[in-house]
């Protein structure tokens, strides 16, 4: 375990800001400052793995497909260099979503909520170095208009 130089509240604040920047796309350089961009690993649903560039590509697709985006964090639990939290990313599905679990889907104009459970690991400099995500892809696909038979 890494010795942490940041308090729990500081890590939560960094996590909240990093999420806001990834969802809004407003300042990519600041967003990158909250990650160890060289060593970052993302572990997603269905065995999806990527580095920092893959995470950025995913959020670029979210920003392209969904208008009126927002992100909220819910319960946060901290232990050592890990934070676990509830996350909701919402947006109106207005353009094709190229990174859905079912591939590219056309917009349906509906409000979509990505309901996530995340676990983040931070390094000693307060940067996110690893993230695990779990979500209900069936619910997401239903909202995207791709409900399975």
How wide is the angle at C-alpha 112 spanned by C-alphas 28 and 77, nearest 5°?
Answer: 65
DSSP 73-125: EEEEEEETTEEEEEEEEEEEE-S-EEEETTEEE-----EEEEEEEEEEEE-TT
**CATH number for the 8-143 domain, one of 3.40.50.300, 3.10.450.50, 3.20.20.70, 3.40.50.970?**
3.10.450.50
Beta strand 111-122 with 128-135: parallel, antiparallel or unpaired?
A: antiparallel
Entry pTM = 0.92
In contact, 144 and 112? CB cutoff 8 Å: yes
pLDDT tens track for 79-124: 999 999 999 999 999 999 999 999 999 999 999 999 999 999 999 9
- H/E run at residue 42: strand 41-43
Query: Confidence band (pLDDT; 50, 70, 90) for 148?
Result: low
pLDDT tens track for 124-144: 999 999 999 999 999 999 999
């Amino acid at each position: 375990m890494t010795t942490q130089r940041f308090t729990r509240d500081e890590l939560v604040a960094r996590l909240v800001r990093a999420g806001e920047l990834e969802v809004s796309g407003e300042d990519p350089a600041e967003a990158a400052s909250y990650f160890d961009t060289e060593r970052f690993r993302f572990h997603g649903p269905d065995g999806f793995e990527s580095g920092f560039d893959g995470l950025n590509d995913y959020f670029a697709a979210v920003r392209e497909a969904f208008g009126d985006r927002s992100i909220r964090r819910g319960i946060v639990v901290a232990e050592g260099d890990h934070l676990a939290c509830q996350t909701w990313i919402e947006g109106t599905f207005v353009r094709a979503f190229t990174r859905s679990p079912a591939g590219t889907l056309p917009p349906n104009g509906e409000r979509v909520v990505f309901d996530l459970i995340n676990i983040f690991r931070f390094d000693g400099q307060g940067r996110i170095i690893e993230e695990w995500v779990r979500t209900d892809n069936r619910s997401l696909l239903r909202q995207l208009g791709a409900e399975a038979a």
